Structure 1
């Protein structure tokens, strides 16, 4: 299993700043804490997609021992980041299990204890399941886990279509994982979110 953190957003609703660089009240940035959570859950290989704020985020990615994936686009969309992550995933040696976990880099409540049940459910999935995602009270969350077959399917779509489009057209291959913790669906978009979650600029 590999993991890719998507940290290339523009942060426009936060006044133009990288959400992954926000500092958590318990210490560390959201980026650093996400990488640490993945490692503690047993995911050793972590990549991070970076966009317009790479000068601030790249040193942190390198300090974490994660692999940076750099956009050439000035203002990449989420789909652009997904496709870059999956393209890089297929280009590197995959070994026997080319599965990949995609998650946003601005999930301040997500810890290793939240990732372990997702990984366990993926290992226990039924035959034919190519994707898995947490669902909390009917709302899709993160991380999303994709098999090698699903990755190939996403990339085979037109470039304007990403993971969500593939999931929508292959419902029989998708396993929703019903969970009750808001950590899977809590991200940071606005200054109000920053204040409510006790975050600060790093």
Structure 2
């Protein structure tokens, strides 16, 4: 673990867990969270959105590209910089990264936001809406999952009970949801920010076209052909 000194006293509040351990293989093997949209990395944008809604305790799980992401986070000058957790065996399934993050908690928070790091449009309004929906849930429900046209998205929001259960559940949130449907609120929303990620060059081209902002890739092998739509293979 790296990052700020650990402060267990904050862990009864709201904590965010950002999953950033992926390889970015469909983009030629780049850390997707370090893609720049309009000059800011996707990770910078997420951290700013979390700070805007008052969430200062953030953990970032890295795996592939861990050194590059950790180095970038060290450049962030904030009162409470993110804590970096390293997943030694990252794969395509984020379940291990979720479990690693949950096991890093000294005490279970009242609300844990779990989100992947490649959601370029997920800003403070979407986070506020998800938290409000979570707070308005039936208290027999321990998890909120946003859905857009039936597609599950992020952030998932967990209460302390769900955090305690899932830290020892190897199948991750998706498998747990299938066995405990009554404990999950599927919150329907029309905001595509909850589900719109970037996995392919075409995704980046659409993002540049839709936002009118430049998209710049982090350093990567130079032999890839990417759609020219405001994308800079930097």
Normalised by the length of structure 1, the TM-score is 0.91
- State the alpha-carbon separation in 2 of the partners of residues 22 and 45 from structure 1: 23
After superposition, the C-alpha distances for 1:24-80 in whole angstroms (9 at most, x for unaligned) are 12x310011101111101212111001120221102223331111112226574111
Distance 1:169 1:45, change over 3 A: same
How far 1:162 sits from its partner (Å)?
A: 0.7
Structure 2 residues not aligned, in runs of 5+: 1-13, 209-214, 219-234
- Alignment match of 1:69 (pick from 85, 94, 100): 85
Normalised by the length of structure 2, the TM-score is 0.79
Alignment-derived partner of residue 40 in structure 1: 52
How far 1:134 sits from its partner (Å)?
A: 0.9
Q: How many residues align?
A: 195
Alignment-derived partner of residue 108 in structure 1: 120
Which has more helix, going by share of residues?
1
1:78 has 2:94 as partner: yes
Which consecutive aligned stretches of 4+ in structure 1 deviate over 6 angstroms post-superposition? none
Alignment-derived partner of residue 143 in structure 1: 155
Structure 1 residues not aligned, in runs of 5+: none
1:125 has 2:134 as partner: no
Alignment-derived partner of residue 4 in structure 1: 17
Question: SS of the residue aligned with 1:156?
Answer: coil
Distance 1:113 1:156, change over 3 A: same
Give RMSD over aligned pairs: 1.5
